[in-house]
Structure 1
């Protein structure tokens, strides 16, 4: 988990910038930025400098934002205690001191107890609900995607996705792994380099769309798989863009 994702997200939103716009400025893929902002992917020094430059802030501001608000004791309270105690006789001042020390000891005991309980509790992450199709799309040879049953699923990550599907196969490694959940935003307008879900002759694929002088291709990130060429005569359609992924943890 990285600790700067929330800072990047909040600063980006404060500048009314979308993840896609930030992706163009940093050179990262949009799903990489999503994983950074949600704390699911580590950041190194080069990554931090890229974000700082794109957001037009100093790198240190990513560590400092948002600044925690400090709660200070109102000075007049201490002044009143000191002033009132100074008016007491010596024996009564000793009583005040004894009472104050007792209160401090009790306070420390309570704080130690809270810390002990907190140390033993693993915080449960906030869950987001998604439409889930249990029929996987393939990152290899294709998988039939029609007539699917929609369910709901709760996951501890937050994406602006229209639905979630599992992925099978290794053709998109190392970015995506078999068994991952992928988050899909419905769209028919993908550009060169975008990773999406595509239907090709009735089967669903998760691939990267490449468009160059030689034509259009469905590209695998794993070099052992060949590209699939598509043209105007192909039975092909774009289903949506992959905006993030989540790897389930097996207990």
Structure 2
């Protein structure tokens, strides 16, 4: 009887997908996929994500059935687009999405339909609390133009190798600076100088009150 890893490899190749393609589409780390296919891992809690990305059901993946050979079904498999959760170190070196090595991304979250190159950052610290709490995920759109930003917009800026997100303030005389939403945070005002590079606009925030790693039963 074939193993899950063998079935995964067979279906992936039938779909003409590389391990990297499957990792980007499913949000499962490429190293996990590789371990499964080589037999170094016997089971995974990500069967559903892998199956959705391959266009088959979890049961078909376990049995090694290629979806295209099945009889038509009235069940529509939803395949969500996924966006990477970048580290603040990656954000500090960000120039565009292509500049990021996606094989180094450890976490992916669903991507809204209106975003193409958006990515997530996990909030650290209390500089923008209580609006944004540590552990929140902010969605950043790098395709917007800095000149289109308005006073009050939350933006991500990198300065040298550091990245931060703060509220953009534009004074009536045209002067611009960043401000922390938490009035107790110091420094509360950050000047926007020639060393500051606009990364993108914060367009959404996701807060999980509880998250647990899904586990599957093993025989």
Q: TM-score, normalised by structure 1?
A: 0.41
Q: Which protein, 1 or 2, shows the higher relative CO under an 8 Å CA cutoff with sep ≥ 6?
A: 2
Query: Counting helix residues as a fraction of each chain, which structure ranks higher?
Result: 1
Q: TM-score, normalised by structure 2?
A: 0.47
